[in-house]
Structure 1
Amino acid sequence: MKLIWATRGRTWGFRFLLNGGIEDPLPIYDEAFSGIEDVPEVCRRVGEKVALRFPDPLKRKDAAGRVIPHEFVAFGPSADEIDSVEIGRRLVWPLVANEFARVWELPKPPSVTG
């Protein structure tokens, strides 16, 4: 499964942490989340891709006290299995949990990776 992943850290604002191997993931991200910007949990298929948003499973909060959201655009064969927030969280979170634990308190966001 390929992932575009956007989130924020304790002190840094929303950033892409994974780009799914795409040089500019913003247009794909914008298309996937268009019209559902304010929905706190969502799983929506957009063509061959799945837009997935859920709050941080460990309820981590940023410096302003807001629960950290995680937003993914999943694509590739494994993305076909994602048809609900619950299933998406179960399949996607283990792929990024350790990386987020490593970076969320960094004073600056890490570089985007494929």
Structure 2
Amino acid sequence: MSLIWATRGKSWGFRFLRSGGSADPLIDYEDVFSGLDDQSQAFRRLGDRVALRFTDPEARKDAAGRPIPHEFVLTGETAKGMSSLEKAREKIWPLVADEYAKIWDQPSPPAARD
């Protein structure tokens, strides 16, 4: 599975939790999300990559009361067959939901992993 995952927690700001194997996931993230800054939900296919953004399905909010967004860059086999926001969310969220549930209210996020 190749995905970059960026989100924030209850008390920690925007962080990459998965790097997708990239030495600098910010470059890939900025490229695929360019122009989608003000959209709370997004799905965009850009060649063999997909940008996916949705609010936390459990309706969690950070300490300031803002909804938690989850943002993904999907590539390769992970991006294949993705045709809509709904289908992508249904496939990707179950892969990270338990992991996020364990860390979202921790004082600091774990280091990004591949």
Q: Could you tell me which residue of structure 2 aligns to residue 18 of structure 1?
A: 18
Q: Could you tell me which residue of structure 2 aligns to residue 38 of structure 1?
A: 38
- Count of residues paired in the alignment: 114
Q: Could you tell me whether the CA contact under 8 Å between 2:2 and 2:75 is conserved in 1?
A: yes
Q: Could you tell me which residue of structure 1 aligns to residue 73 of structure 2?
A: 73
Once the two structures are TM-superposed, the CA of residue 78 in structure 1 deviates from its matched residue by 3.1
Q: Could you tell me whether the CA contact under 8 Å between 2:4 and 2:18 is conserved in 1?
A: yes
Separation (CA, whole Å) in 1 of partners of 2:93 and 2:104: 14
Separation (CA, whole Å) in 1 of partners of 2:47 and 2:27: 14
TM-score, structure 2 length as denominator? 0.97
- Structure 1 runs of 4+ with >6 Å offset: none
Separation (CA, whole Å) in 2 of partners of 1:31 and 1:22: 13
TM-score, structure 1 length as denominator? 0.97
Separation (CA, whole Å) in 2 of partners of 1:81 and 1:20: 18
Q: Could you tell me which residue of structure 1 aligns to residue 54 of structure 2?
A: 54
Deviations along 1:49-82, whole A, 9 cap, x unmatched?
A: 0000000000000000011000000011231211
CA RMSD of the aligned region, Å?
0.7
Unaligned runs of 5+ in 1: none
Unaligned runs of 5+ in 2: none
